[in-house]
Amino acid sequence: MRILGLKEEMRRACGGAARPLGLVPTMGALHDGHLSLVGRCRDDCATVAVSIFVNPAQFGEGEDFAEYPRDLDGDLELLRRCGVDLVFVPGAAEVYPPGFDTWVDVGPVGERLEGAARPGHFRGVATVVAKLFGVVRPDRAYFGQKDGQQTVVVSKLARDLDLGVEVVVAPTVREGDGLAMSSRNARLNPEQRRAAPVLYRALAAGRGEWERGERDAGAICGVVRRVLDSEPLLGGIDYVSLAAPDTLEELVVAAPGAMLSAAAQLGVVRLIDNVMLE
């Protein structure tokens, strides 16, 4: 496994690598969700590249950039065991050198839901992903459904800018009690960790309503809210949304393929999760 910190050496390594080449972009603090993306990439591609970069541009003021979990040695050990070929670990000045000024704005799809709560977040995500695609030039890139809006944003980015990258979305990996795996879960205290699966329970209850024939989006979201309201440790519900899968516009009438998602604060952690209506 080669570990590279400079864009130029990563570009050279990728240029000479066997195709297809798959990229798994991450911010490190790897868990089984990331490793499932790496495994999927390993199955599909002749070369597996992983990037580890905690991207300051996608954190707003007062967000948890400084506290975001970091464990580079542990991450590299996991990636070595998974048979990864190339790991790109750039520093912030390598990604955003002095004079950097060009940003990628994906429009309204990046302004809803997470984008409304975290202004500028998806501009930061789209920009760094475009830059990673530019350095690595992957044939495929792998993202988890857990960050549902991010998968929509990145797919749109690849399509709108004709980047020639196939965006592959892999299912959310969950703990035994339903909590979606996330690097930020490490910041929950034991009591909060016990409460955290309420988010998935609430979304599953909403999806249950759909499965029983409910088609009114307000009624489905209402069920989700009621379950969330039953958990006293939740600091606040940011949103409950039932949205079209490609535009993320709110639906009045539920339809197959819609994304039911929610975000809520639990201690210092902002939990997000989603389920798709089949």
Measured CA to CA, the distance from residue 88 to residue 85 in angstroms comes to: 10
Q: Is 272 in the site for ligand PAF (CB under 6 A)?
A: no
Contact in structure between 195 and 179 (CB atoms under 8 Å): no
35 binds ligand PAF (CB under 6 A): no
Annotated active-site residue 121? The verdict is no
Q: What is the DSSP string of 224-254?
A: HHHHHHT-TTEEEEEEEEEE-TTT-PBPSB-
Residue 129 binding ligand PAF, by CB under 6 A: yes
Q: With respect to ligand PAF, which residue has the nearer C-beta, 26 or 274?
A: 26
Q: Beta partners for 265?
A: 236, 270
Sole window of 24-32, 112-120, 192-200, 240-248 interacting with ligand PAF (rule: CB under 6 A): 24-32
The reply to whether 27 sits near ligand PAF by the rule CB under 6 A is yes
| Catalytic entry in 34, 40, 137, 270 | 34
Q: Does 125 bind ligand PAF (CB under 6 A)?
A: yes
The alpha carbon of residue 171 and the mean position of all alpha carbons in its chain are separated, in whole angstroms, by: 11
CB closer to ligand PAF, 58 vs 155: 58
Rg (CA), the chain: 19
Q: Where are the alpha helices (DSSP H) in the chain?
A: 7-15, 32-44, 72-81, 92-95, 114-117, 121-136, 148-160, 190-195, 198-211, 217-229
Chain positions 145 to 184 lying near ligand PAF, rule: CB under 6 A, are: 147, 150
Instruction: Indicate the residue among 150 and 155 with the shorter CB distance to ligand PAF.
Output: 150
Helix (H, G, I), strand (E, B) or coil at 176: coil
Restricting to residues 183-222, which ones interact with ligand PAF according to CB under 6 A?
none
Binding map of ligand PAF across residues 40-69, x = CB under 6 A, - = no contact = ---------------x--x-----------
Backbone angles phi, psi at 111, to 5 degrees: -105, -10
Binding site for ligand PAF (CB under 6 A): 25-27, 55, 58, 125, 128-129, 147, 150
Catalytic residue ranges: 34
